[in-house]
Amino acid sequence: MPTTVNAYSATAADQPLRPTTIDRRDPGPHDVVIDIAYAGICHSDIHTARAEWGQPNYPVVPGHEIAGTVAVVGDEVSRYQVGDRVGVGCFVDSCRECDACRAGDEQYCERGMTGTYNAVGRDGQPTHGGYSTAIVVDENYVCRIPEGLDLDVAAPLLCAGITLYSPLRHWNAGPGKKVAIIGLGGLGHVGVKIAHAMGAEVTVLSQSLKKMEDGLRLGADHYYATSDPDTFRLLRNEFDLIVNTVSANLDMSKFLGMLAINGTLVELGLPEHPIEIPAGAVTRNRRSFAGSMIGGIAETQEMLDFCAEHGIGAEIEVIDAEAINEAYDRVVASDVRYRFVIDTATL
């Protein structure tokens, strides 16, 4: 007998999210039932709910920054016990057999990972995300939230945290490396903290200087406004690594111009329209334009352990469920400091 739980769902691109109920399957032998305490609001939730990436499979219950407590474990679960503090990120399954899955890069599963929402699970049922009071997930797609990280500030790490940690590790952010982060939003602010903890020299490239004090407090060494044309002149050929977290389309050639020889710009934002790059912007300085998408389960656990060790949580504003639609508008207006987190007790 499936269990019915409270949730919030989007039913059309131009409609607000509304309260609803959804069914969660009975736990199978390898499943854990998680009582969700907090769910972060990622800009990807908004892109999906508002059909900016194409028509989703409505009704959509978004939420892939999930933190909570294990309530029930299946008979063969070995990694978790009732009462454990756990998190779930952007996917809840993958094929487990392809090269990517075997390498721990389940996010790049050749058969496609199963998204935490707006996907179809092994049972043929649509997946529904964290804007709900409970979720049932195979234990292999669950991470442990270390002691010392509160659940509310940990929730956004499950997407924003790993999305920044993975490329910062891959492109060796660390001492002696000049790293710039474009956009001080949900992803960007966690990126500043992580890159700083890795020992890199960190620069924030924001639309204005409004959030400069915060950026420096979070660990940035430098802070520039991209609305000031001088920024692009001053920082020409400056960075080893630039990480773009912006949810809208930017003039990428201007940002590529900030890369030093052999520098890489990693695209993380997923704007609605294609990105245009003049060839000369990358041939000069032997530059690379790259991308990265979240991270695998083992790497997500590594990120959580790293964040606990360095005292890194997200800067959050906890909201009641009824404030979700207003929060969406504020995220789109870059008016978020720096992640909205839903208290799921209010669903």
Among 130, 161, 185, 257, binds ligand NAP (CB under 6 A): 185
Closer residue to ligand NAP (CB): 24 or 239 = 239
- For residue 144, the tally of other CB atoms under 10 A from its CB is 16
d(CA 112, CA 97): 12
Closer residue to ligand NAP (CB): 81 or 249 = 249
Torsion of Cα atoms, 308 then 314 then 318 then 323, to 10°: -140
Tokens for 50, please give them.
């508002």
Rounded to the nearest 5 degrees, what angle is found at the Cα of 200, between the Cα atoms of 185 and 239?
Answer: 80
- The HSE-up count of residue 150 (CA atoms within 13 Å, CB side) is 8
Residues 37-66, interacting with Zn ion (CB under 5 A): 42, 44
Among 43, 177, 178, 196, binds ligand NAP (CB under 6 A): 43
Question: By CB under 6 A, is residue 209 in contact with ligand NAP?
Answer: no
Question: By CB under 6 A, is residue 186 in contact with ligand NAP?
Answer: yes
Selection from Zn ion, ligand NAP, none that 98 binds (CB < 5 to 8 A by kind) is Zn ion
Question: By CB under 6 A, is residue 187 in contact with ligand NAP?
Answer: yes
**Cβ contact 2:56 at 8 Å:** no
Question: By CB under 5 A, is residue 109 in contact with Zn ion?
Answer: yes
Cis peptide before 338 (omega within 30 of 0): yes
**Cβ contact 327:186 at 8 Å:** no
Among 61, 88, 149, 159, binds ligand NAP (CB under 6 A): 159
Torsion of Cα atoms, 165 then 166 then 167 then 170, to 10°: 120
Q: Write down the least CB distance from residue 95 to Zn ion, Å.
A: 3
Binding string, residues 237-276; x marks residues near ligand NAP by CB under 6 A: --------xxxx-x-----------------xxx------
The piece of 184-192, 193-201, 234-242, 277-285 that touches ligand NAP (CB under 6 A) is 184-192
**Cβ contact 334:214 at 8 Å:** no
Residues touching ligand NAP, count (CB under 6 A)? 29
Cα–Cα nearest to 170, from 76, 288, 60, 86: 288
Closer residue to Zn ion (CB): 256 or 268 = 268
The piece of 43-51, 132-140, 274-282, 309-317 that touches ligand NAP (CB under 6 A) is 43-51
**Cβ contact 313:157 at 8 Å:** yes
d(CA 27, CA 230): 57
3-state helix, strand, coil in the chain (%, to 5): 30, 30, 45
The piece of 17-25, 136-144, 182-190, 312-320 that touches ligand NAP (CB under 6 A) is 182-190
Closer residue to ligand NAP (CB): 62 or 68 = 62
Q: Write down the least CB distance from residue 183 to ligand NAP, Å.
A: 3
- Report which residue's Cβ sits closest to ligand NAP: 185
Give the strand pairing for 85-88 and 66-73. antiparallel
The piece of 97-105, 132-140, 213-221, 330-338 that touches Zn ion (CB under 5 A) is 97-105
Tokens for 118, please give them.
């707006």
Question: By CB under 5 A, is residue 95 in contact with Zn ion?
Answer: yes
Selection from ligand NAP, Zn ion, none that 95 binds (CB < 5 to 8 A by kind) is Zn ion
Among 334, 337, 343, 346, binds ligand NAP (CB under 6 A): 334
**Cβ contact 215:341 at 8 Å:** no
Q: In degrees rounded to 5, what are phi and psi of residue 320?
A: -80, 160
For ligand NAP, the binding residues (CB under 6 A) are 42-44, 47, 159, 163, 183-188, 206-207, 211, 245-248, 250, 268-270, 292-294, 331, 334, 336
For Zn ion, the binding residues (CB under 5 A) are 42, 44, 94-95, 98, 101, 109, 159
